[in-house]
Chain A
């Protein structure tokens, strides 16, 4: 079984709809991240969470919100989707070693299309 799972894998929605993307991990990691990937732009960090009570905005948080329901679950919401949020979204996890960053482990991605 995959260590980091994302649901759904693909989603097509309409402008103005509320969308939730979910991420679950079995790695026991404290840190979780949401990124979006656009062609030619690489990965951009949307939100990250260092533990259940810690939520931080990333580079491009406008239009998004997150919820860390448990250590293993981190969901990303688009309250009112717009076409320029069409992208590939990745969840990632890493350990908290306290003194340097760690390998990030990625989910398979969710391809979101907003019409």
Chain B
């Protein structure tokens, strides 16, 4: 079945770039998403990429998609303490009536 995998933790120094990785198994993905969950809050959409794109940039965020390797990454430039959160990767597929398949989330820890 479909599967989305992420590392559970990532630790970076303030000011460095953070790269959060995600792999997925189903090649029929239509959209791939990054959601952010701050402590004590619900999830908020951070950015998304259509499966026919390979890169999307939005201010400090860069999303890279390698369809051949089924690999998605989120790069956060100049990581700040406010970026501390859990980041979820999710994919939607036409075959599953466009339900979202979620990764387990990567907790981003910022070191001073």
Contact = CB atoms under 8 A, between A and B. Distances in A.
B44 A101 contact: no
Interface string A10-37: 0000000000000000000000000000
B42 A100 contact: no
Q: Interface residues of A toward B: which range?
A: 20 to 34
Interface stretch (A60-68, A69-77, A79-87, A104-112): A104-112
B92 A101 contact: yes
B100 A104 contact: yes
A26 B41 CA distance: 18
B104 A40 contact: yes
Contact of A108 (B30, B42, B48, B103): B42
Interface of A: 4, 40-45, 48, 58, 90, 92, 100-101, 103-109
Nearest to A100: B30
A104 B45 contact: yes
Contact of B48 (A48, A58, A103): A103
